Amino acid sequence: EGYGMPLELWVRAVHSGLRIVELAIPLVYLDEKRSFGGALDEGSRRMAYYQQVIKRSLVELGRSTDQLACGVMCEESAG
């Protein structure tokens, strides 16, 4: 089974009980004008798309979409 974005993998990983920890790394995208492609170059549209991907992943797992994945799933993992 493939995933369209790392966001989908992260939602499934947390749903499976795994814990995701972000580590600081040197800046990957050095060009602040990096293109994400078409409409996704606009930050608000890109964020809306990311939220849509997360919500779709939650629905596929039978989870609530009242909050975004981190709001719902990070709270469960904390502690």
Three-class DSSP category at 70:
helix
Rounded to whole angstroms, the Cα distance separating 38 from 35 reads 8
Rounded to whole angstroms, the Cα distance separating 10 from 68 reads 12
Other CB atoms within 10 Å distance of the CB of residue 44: 7
Is pLDDT of 10 > 80? yes
Tell whether pTM > 0.75.
no
Banded model confidence at residue 14, pLDDT cuts 50, 70, 90: confident
Model confidence pLDDT, tens digit, residues 48-74: 888 888 888 888 888 877 755 455 455
